[in-house]
Amino acid sequence: MSMAVTLIRVLNALFSVYSLAIVFRALLPWLRIDPYHPVMRFLVQITEPLLAPLRRLVPAVGGLDFTPMVALIILWAVEQFLRVLLTVLL
């Protein structure tokens, strides 16, 4: 297996795990999970560095926060860009 394929697989895994963290963070409050639960605190801690700046740019509409959806789209675009870049460079 080439180095490029290995790097792309690692990249894909990292982006997938982070995307799942964003999805779980968005869905768990709907299940009435305590915001001080250790899992919820961990998810907030790892996702807030991306979501906080986006919240300043993406207004809530009707009380719904679309920031996680925007973050997922941005993550997907960055992942695709890095995948192409790795393919070209390696």
pLDDT in tens, 30-80: 899 899 999 999 999 999 999 999 999 998 888 889 999 999 999 999 999
Q: Could you tell me which residue, 13 or 5, shows the higher pLDDT?
A: 13
Q: Mapped to the 3 state alphabet, what secondary structure does 71-83 carry?
A: HHHHHHHHHHHHH
More confident residue, 5 or 46: 46
Please enumerate in sequence order all residues whose Cβ is within 8 A of that of 67, keeping only pairs 6 or more positions apart, or say none.
51, 54, 55, 58
pTM here is 0.89
Listed in sequence order, the residues at least 6 apart from 21 whose beta carbon sits closer than 8 Å to its beta carbon are 43, 46, 47
CA-based angle 75:59:81, to the nearest 5?
15
Please give the pLDDT value at position 1: 61
Per-residue pLDDT, 46: 97
